[in-house]
Amino acid sequence: MSIKKTLAVAALASVLAAGAAEARDQIRIVGSSTVYPFATSVAETFGKSTSFKTPVIESTGSGGGFKLFCAGVGEEHPDITNASRAVKQSEIERCAKNGVEKITEVKVGYDGIVLANSKQGKPLEITRKQIFLALAKDVPNAEGKLVPNPNQKWSDVDPSLPDIKIEVLGPPPTSGTRDAFAELALEGGCKQFDDIKAMKKTDKKKYKAVCHSVREDGAYIDAGENDNLIIQKLNANPDAFGVFGFSFLDQNSDSVQGSLIDGKAPEFEAIADGSYPVSRPLFFYVKNAHVGQVPGILEYLAEFTADKAWGDEGYLTDKGLIPMPVEERAKYKAAVEALGAGS
């Protein structure tokens, strides 16, 4: 009995070695959880309409995606990484150090970040400056000195805002959505203070710390990466607000409403034309060295950059993607096509 089992284990190990040596015939994609719904949609259509296997997509977050993507060239490393922000210089250097020298950037479209509350509550009209005063860790007081945020109620920030406790549920610091919210909403309000704006030139590090730090005294609550959970909590508590991506607002328009920021409602058109202030571009990055090595990459890119996917009426807009203007789409499509011609 024991010998048989030992043999079985040995057989398993040898099968394993054989399996590992097999070449990869499937695209592997990692990266941002914000781009994930769009990438998976494209991957699925690609898998169904071509003879290639459906790409495997992991949702690792933008930073985690670059870490895996930049680990090297070869079939054990991913071919494409999705990102809800542009690649950082440090990441390009990391890539280059590991032999990933050429990468191609493709912008996918835009995503709006919304501040929303339950429909049982009143809709909110707020400016970015007020958002900063409500949610930043340190805010300037009457004399312009930075003090820990004293505002407990929205009406403490500005009398025009409702007389309820500040309670905002949002993504944790590891999330790209949180980064973008800090950059676009908080910093957007922060630099409207002249003192702080001047600081940008003199002490950039401190400027960033002031403008990007979210308060930690309980007014801003980390609700985890699950946006559906935030929506459930908003429904249970009409006084609370939540921060999440536009697609979740779009899908739950029966129970939650987006706040007007700087007078603009978070609507498809306003995000598309850039007038809604809290929107960001989404990207993916392709490893040039893998094009032609792993079958299907060019065809996947062609599917993604086709008008029926990312166009004004493409199926990605049904998933909540805000498409780019025509010229911008043409530019990135050309970049993708050049990738095919070059290899």
Partner 1 sequence: MTELKESMKKARARLKKRHAAETRFKAFGIGALAFAFLCVVMLFTSIISNGYTGFRQTYVQIDVFMDEGIIDPKGDRDEKALRSADYAKIVRQSLYDKFPEVTARRDKRTLANLVSSSAVYDLRDMVLANQAVIGQNLSVWVMASDEVDMLVKDVFKRDEPENTRPITNMEIAWVEKLEAENRVETRFNTNFFVAGDSREPEQAGIRGALIGSALTMLVTLALSFPLGVMAAIYLEEFAPKNKFTHIVEVNINNLAAVPSIVFGLLGLAIFLNLFGMPRSAPIAGGFVLALMTLPTIIIASRAALKSIPPSIMEAAIGVGASKMQAVFHHQLPLALPGILTGTIIGMAQALGETAPLLMIGMVAFIADVPGTPFDPATVLPVQVYLWADSPERAFVEKTSAAIMVLLGFLITMNALAVLLRKKLERRW
- Judged by the rule CB under 8 A, the positions of this chain that interact with partner 1 are 1-2, 5-6, 8-9, 12, 16, 19-20, 22, 24, 26, 28, 33, 36-37, 39-41, 43-45, 47-49, 53-54, 56-59, 76, 119, 225-228, 245, 247-248, 250-255, 313, 315, 318-320
In sequence order, the 6+-apart residues with CB closer than 8 A to the CB of 152 are 165, 166, 219
Give 58 or 156: the residue with its C-beta nearer to partner 1.
58
Least Å distance between CB 130 and partner 1? 26
Residue 247 and residue 175 in contact, taking contact as beta carbons nearer than 8 Å: no
H or E stretch at 121: none
Q: Which has the closest alpha carbon to 51: 25, 80, 78, 20?
A: 25
Give 139 or 256: the residue with its C-beta nearer to partner 1.
256
Tokens describing residue 35: 């781009």
Give 149 or 175: the residue with its C-beta nearer to partner 1.
175
Give 219 or 302: the residue with its C-beta nearer to partner 1.
302
Give 52 or 285: the residue with its C-beta nearer to partner 1.
52
Residue 175 and residue 195 in contact, taking contact as beta carbons nearer than 8 Å: no
Give 60 or 130: the residue with its C-beta nearer to partner 1.
60
Least Å distance between CB 5 and partner 1? 4
Least Å distance between CB 81 and partner 1? 13
Q: Under DSSP, is residue 74 helix (H, G, I), strand (E, B) or coil?
A: coil
Least Å distance between CB 156 and partner 1? 31
CA dihedral 252→257→259→265, nearest 10 degrees, is: 80
Least Å distance between CB 149 and partner 1? 31
Q: Which has the closest alpha carbon to 80: 259, 287, 256?
A: 287
Please provide residue 181's backbone torsions phi and psi, each rounded to the nearest 5 degrees: -65, -45
Least Å distance between CB 159 and partner 1? 29
Residue 168 and residue 242 in contact, taking contact as beta carbons nearer than 8 Å: yes
